[in-house]
Amino acid sequence: MITRTKHVFRSPPFLFVLLAFGLSWPIHLYGFGWFGYGPDEILKRLLLSYLGMLMVAVAAFIVRFFVENKNFKDINWNPGHPWWYFGTLLFCISLWVIPALITRLFGHLEWTQTISREAWIVIILSLAGPSVIAGFGEEFGWRGYLLPRLLTKRSRAREILVIIGFIWGIWHFPVALGPLLKGLLENPSNWGSMVGATLLNCVQMVGTCVALSFVFGALWLRTNSILVLSFFHGYFIGLRDAVGMILVGRDEISTIIHIVILLATTLIAYRWLERYEREGEIIGINPKP
C-alpha cells in the first residue's frame, strides 16, 4: 500500500497537474479577483490571465525535463494542414462574431460608443496573435502533455477526456474564486450570497470544460498538431474578448446561439470519438508523449 501511494505521488501526470495548479492559481486568483472590467483594469487582468495560461506549459516543461529526463526533440511539432486553421477560425467566428451581429440587428447589443486605449490594446492582443501564444500554454499542457500519458488505450478516449475536462474545469475555478476572495476580504458579512453564486459558476465551468474537452481532444487526436490547437484556443478566447469590447448590452439571443453551436459541436466530437474507439481506425498520427 505504501509503495502504491509513493508511485501515485511520483507519477509525472500527477506532478504536472499539481504544478500547473500551483503556478497558475495564484496568478489567476489575483488577476480575476483584484482586476475587473474597468477601463483601467481590463488590460492588467488580461495579461495576468495569459500569464496563468502559459504556466500550464511551464509545468509540462518542468516535469518533462526534470522528472522524466526527456528533451523536446521527440515532440511532433506537426504544423497541420492550412484547412484546419481556416476551419477553426471559421468556427470561432460562427460562435462569437456572427451571433453578436445577429443580436445587434435585434437591438439587444449596441456598438461601444467610446473604447479606451486599454480596451483597444486588449482587442489587438486578442486578434493579433498573443492570445494564440496563451492558448499554446494550455494546449501544450492539457492536450500535448497530459492526454497522451493518460490515453494508453484508444477504447478509453472518451473516459480520459472526461477526466481531463474535469481537471480543466477545476483549474478555471479562480475565475470565480478570485472575486469571492476579494469580496470576503472587503465585506465578510455578505458571504452567503457570494458563496452560492460562486459555487454555481464553478459547476458551470466544470460542465463547460468537460464538453469542450471532447471538442479539443477530438481535434488533437485528429490533427496531432499542438499548433492547430493553440490557434483554435487562442481565437476561441480572443474573438470572445474582442467582441465583448466592441459590443455591449443584453445578449440573450447570442447566448442561446452559443449554447446550440457548442452542444452541436460537442455531439459531433463525441460521435467521432465513439467511432475512434469502436473501429480502432488510425486517424491522423498517434500523439507522442
pLDDT digits (tens, 9 = 90+) for 151-165: 988 989 999 999 999
Pull the grid cell for residue 266: 460537442
Confidence of residue 280 (pLDDT cuts 50, 70, 90): low
Contact 243, 104 (CB under 8 A): no
Q: What is the arithmetic mean of pLDDT over 97-121?
A: 87
pLDDT of 4 reads 41
pLDDT of 54 reads 97
Share of the chain above pLDDT 90, in %: 65
Most confidently modeled of 62-66, 67-71, 102-106?
62-66
pLDDT of 143 reads 94
Confidence of residue 131 (pLDDT cuts 50, 70, 90): very high
Among 141-145, 241-245, 247-251, name the one with the lowest average pLDDT: 247-251
On the question of pLDDT at 210 being above 90, the answer is yes
Among 6-10, 46-50, 124-128, 191-195, name the one with the lowest average pLDDT: 6-10
Count CB atoms within 10 A of the CB of residue 267. 13
Q: What is the arithmetic mean of pLDDT over 75-82?
A: 83
Share of the chain above pLDDT 70, in %: 91
Confidence of residue 8 (pLDDT cuts 50, 70, 90): very low
Q: What is the arithmetic mean of pLDDT over 115-134?
A: 93
| Dist. CA 73–CA 61, nearest whole Å | 13
On the question of pLDDT at 285 being above 80, the answer is no
| Dist. CA 205–CA 208, nearest whole Å | 5
Confidence of residue 194 (pLDDT cuts 50, 70, 90): confident
Confidence of residue 37 (pLDDT cuts 50, 70, 90): confident
pLDDT of 103 reads 87
On the question of pLDDT at 286 being above 60, the answer is no
Percent helix, strand, coil in the chain, to 5, is 80, 0, 20
Terminal Cα-to-Cα distance of the chain (whole angstroms): 28
Among 40-44, 59-63, 206-210, 260-264, name the one with the lowest average pLDDT: 40-44
Cα 86–Cα 88–Cα 90 angle in degrees, nearest 5? 65
pLDDT averaged over every residue in the chain: 88
pLDDT of 1 reads 38
